[in-house]
């Protein structure tokens, strides 16, 4: 219906997000020129996704719809490479096609594929180097590069963790030494987290703003 409205009024739907039943209208989306952003294999957990299938991304891709894998779950959003890999299992996408589901394809949806989404001369150097095939569950991030600068390095991270372990041990030893000398032990006092919202005014109580 939305495609019909768009065609009638002369505008294009850029992307259907969370379109878990996109396989039903893949041909119409292709004709209209819309993109599809879907989950990998979540289905049947609420009424609107009762007929979602794990082959959705593959069918959309093979019909010719530019498709991406997304997640609004904080945990799975950290592992979209593994979510994309499921389309190799469900529908036998090639590894290259599967990787595009979380790299080049979403960049095309955002109309920034001239800058990011693939490794190419002239594009922004936002890269991740992996210890294994990026689609493997055994793959770990080795390096994260943003704008050509290394923001995470696994070897450096290991050194920092070791330094923190040594510093923690030093502080604990110092505290124990003070305790053994008879120094008064003071129980740590938790700090209440300050929650900010649209009506927050520094130095004004919630009662004064009338907002809780």
Strand order in the sheet with 127-130: 127-130, 141-146, 149-153
Element holding 38 (H helix, E strand): strand 35-38
Q: How many residues in total does the chain contain? A: 212
Closest-CA residue to 67 (of 19, 11, 10, 127): 19
Query: How far is the C-alpha of 81 from the C-alpha of 77, rounded, in Å?
Result: 9
Element holding 27 (H helix, E strand): helix 26-32
Q: Is 151 helix (H, G, I), strand (E, B) or coil?
A: strand
pLDDT tens track, the chain, 212 positions: 999 999 999 999 999 999 999 999 999 999 999 999 999 988 788 887 889 999 999 999 999 999 999 988 888 888 999 999 999 999 889 999 999 999 999 999 999 999 999 999 999 999 999 999 999 999 999 999 999 999 999 999 999 999 999 999 999 999 889 888 887 777 888 888 877 777 777 766 656 555 55
End-to-end Cα spacing for the chain:
42
The domain 2-114 belongs to what CATH superfamily?
Metal-dependent hydrolases (3.20.20.140)
Closest-CA residue to 144 (of 158, 124, 128): 128
Cβ-in-10-Å burial (0-12, 13-18, 19+) of 162 comes to exposed
Domain boundary assignment for the chain: 2-114, 154-185
CA torsion sign for 140, 129, 90, 56 is: positive
Which two structure tokens, joined as six digits, stand for 117?
């989404």
């Amino acid at each position: 219906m939305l495609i019909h409205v768009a065609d009638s009024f002369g505008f294009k739907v850029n992307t259907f997000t969370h379109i878990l039943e996109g396989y039903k209208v893949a041909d119409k989306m292709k004709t209209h020129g819309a993109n599809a952003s879907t989950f990998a294999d979540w289905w049947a957990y609420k009424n609107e996704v009762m007929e979602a299938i794990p082959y959705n991304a593959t069918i959309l891709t093979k019909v010719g719809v530019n498709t991406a894998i997304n997640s609004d779950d904080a945990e799975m959003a950290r592992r979209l490479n593994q979510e994309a890999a499921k389309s190799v299992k469900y529908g036998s996408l090639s590894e290259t096609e599967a990787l595009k589901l979380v790299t080049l394809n979403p960049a095309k949806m955002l109309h920034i594929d001239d800058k990011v989404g693939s490794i190419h001369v002239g594009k922004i150097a936002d890269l991740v180097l992996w210890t294994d095939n990026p689609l493997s569950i055994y793959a770990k991030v080795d390096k994260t590069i943003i704008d050509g600068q290394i923001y995470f390095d696994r070897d450096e991270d290991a050194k920092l963790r070791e330094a923190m372990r040594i510093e923690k041990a030093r502080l604990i030893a110092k505290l124990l030494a003070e305790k053994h000398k008879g120094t008064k032990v003071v129980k740590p006092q938790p700090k209440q987290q300050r929650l900010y919202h649209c009506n927050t005014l520094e130095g004004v109580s919630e009662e004064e703003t009338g907002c809780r």
